[in-house]
Amino acid sequence: MPPAHDQAILHTTRSAAETRALGRRLALHMQPGDLLCLRGDLGAGKTTLIQGLAQGLGIADLVTSPSFTLIHEHSGSLPLIHIDLYRLGGPDIADIGLEEIIDSEAVVAVEWSEKLPPGLARDALDIEITFDDADDDTRRIHLRARSPRAARILSSLAEATDAGSRA
CA distances (Å), origin 38, targets 50, 83, 99: 9, 10, 17
Q: What pLDDT shows up at residue 142?
A: 97
Angle (CA) 10-149-53 rounded to 5° is 55
- Residue ranges of domains in the chain: 14-115
40-76: per-residue pLDDT in tens? 999 999 999 999 999 999 999 889 988 777 899 999 9
17-49: per-residue pLDDT in tens? 999 999 999 999 999 999 999 999 999 999 999
For residue 119, the tally of other CB atoms under 10 A from its CB is 7
Q: Is the pTM of this model over 0.85?
A: yes
- Are the C-beta atoms of residues 67 and 93 closer than 8 Å to each other? no
List, in order, residues 6 or more apart from 150 with CB less than 8 Å away: 5, 34, 35, 123, 124, 125, 126, 144
**Distance of alpha carbon 136 from alpha carbon 90, whole angstroms:** 33
Q: What pLDDT shows up at residue 167?
A: 41
- Are the C-beta atoms of residues 130 and 56 closer than 8 Å to each other? no
- CATH fold for domain 14-115: Rossmann fold (3.40.50)
CA trace torsion 22, 113, 61, 75 (10° rounding): 100
127-152: per-residue pLDDT in tens? 999 998 888 889 999 999 989 989 99
- Are the C-beta atoms of residues 109 and 129 closer than 8 Å to each other? no
